[in-house]
Structure 1
Amino acid sequence: MTTGTADRFAAYLVERDEQGHLRQGVRSLTPGDLPPGEVTIRVAYSGVNYKDGLASRPDGRVVRSYPMVPGIDLAGKVVESADPRFRPGDPVLVTGYELGVSHYGGYAEYARVPGDWVVPLPRGLDLREAMILGTAGFTAALALHRLEEHGLAPGRGPVLVTGASGGVGSVAVAILARRGYEVVASTGKPEAAPYLERLGASRVIPRDEVAVKGGKPLEKQQWVAAIDAVGGDTLAHVLRTTRYGGAVAAVGLTGGSHLHTTVFPFILRGVSLLGIDSVYCPMPLRMRIWQRLAGDLRPEALEDLVYREVELAGLPGAFDDVLAGRVRGRILVRLR
């Protein structure tokens, strides 16, 4: 490693000792510390996702090996490449795969990754905008894409977004509104209502209206579709209240990983439950979704999605805020 890569650079490193205690903070790394891969990237921006917050906790259960540089997404410019698809200077982004979990991620000034993980930055987005969207935006867009493949179209009725003030939920509200859907946003933060309305929600409802435990196997039909970032009792209630032939895209589990429901929504109303996996999404579809995010799904006001911007030293506080549910939208990590 010589051309284009600094001899030493800053990274946020999480280490685990023999007693299971975590030590973490900004460290100085060398190119030799980076894992194998064909493409080396000078990282400009990353983001803070729920999984990144878990990576900072001893009981987070997402990091597969230590030491680890968290950060499950990044955007930057190629500085070295052994992959003919990429050349120095190319703007690129990476989300998903093993990034920040078992492969050093985006919280470093340089990252080295397999070429098969790299997405060329689509025309219509710059590096910062790509990470305003990041993994959360990609997940939300993939969910909407799957719902539209199922038959969802504007003008057919309200689409519910749960956990709407979080990263995935915020982008989901914004891209649904951009496409002309009637968006109902559910949130546990009443103070977030003006923000969600600014993103395009036609109606904001309290979390308690959808986070309902138990209830009848089927309840009043309300939504033509839903993007659920919560899981648990909320997802079960959403299934019970989705209209005949509708679909629910499950993208998260901030409210729990369990699902207590019955078969009735599926066999009496023809409701479909669509699982959304943004980690191992095949590259052709991955690139198509990013093209849509730069085009017909690009939110009208990307900056409205930014909660705040931090550098590496500000990550501990950002992790705490994400895990405590205090974040509205996205936290950007600036590395350049």
Structure 2
Amino acid sequence: MYLSWLDRWDEQRARRGEDGKETTSFVLDADRAFPGERIATFREFCNRAEEASTDRSFFDEQSSGDQRFDVSDHRIKFPSGIYTDVAENNIVWAKITESGNRNKALVIFHHWNARGRNVQIASFLSRRGITVIEIAMPYHFERSRPGSLHADYMLSANLGRTIQAVRQAVCDGRRLIRWLKGKGYREVSVLGMSLGSWVAGLIAAHDANVSKVSLFLTGGSLADMVWTGRATRSIRRSLEPEIDLTDLRRAWSPLNLENYVHRLARRDLEIQMVLAKRDTVVLPELSESLIRGLTNAGGRPQILKLNCGHYSLGKLPYIVSAGLSLKRFLS
């Protein structure tokens, strides 16, 4: 009976999350994903995307004239290396909760359409000697597009802009990590939640400065998550008249964590995954596919599976189990 109630609660929460989401037009927008390149057709876009998924430099930090980091009142501000047509999105903001030492730092990447930062997690970990930095992903929090009801520019039926936004999130995160290492933090870890787990996973796969990565509510193929997930039905409705899932997998191949399992399975990187058995947003089979890929590549991820849904992971008692598991992992 309790689990039936939990499933209904997750569904109600998903319905509330649909407010403001609209079916939009399918757009290629190749120049956003691959600036300065001549890509005219969907086939050319997919070919270029598959090339990018094997290009080690695709998620490298992008150059920016202004490298300055401003720190005041527990806030960090710095310019993004990727310029977009939304001025607010071109400045990266993060909240820092100091722990009092420079041994360990954790950078947190929140979920899609997050409305606030994770104050409880930051406070819990900082009291245990881990400095927590909660970065705003593109088009969220201080970086939100004026007038938007949700972060539709971060994930949408605009294929090129979605690649640009995820790439921007990865590059921003890597710039922040480099700054933290320069400040003397010996061990820098990353934590990603839902969509943020794709960003955290891509960073860990491409940046040797990351020693530990924790992925909450994650999967391998972002295309499959969008096509099958409860939270992204409006995006599928926009895509389905134009392309199928196989097409989307090719177009978003740089965003598929399964393409980087050998990098994630490197010996100097520890991996944790916290999953929800009743997840309807990131289906369990997508998580299992990533686990198999990591295991086959020689990785040994620490895995916690909780009998809850995507949204109810944030409720008692599941959030306590997840939090304690995270503390043990980072310690």
TM-score (norm 2): 0.30
Higher strand share: 1
Higher gyration radius (CA): 1
Higher helix share: 2
TM-score (norm 1): 0.29
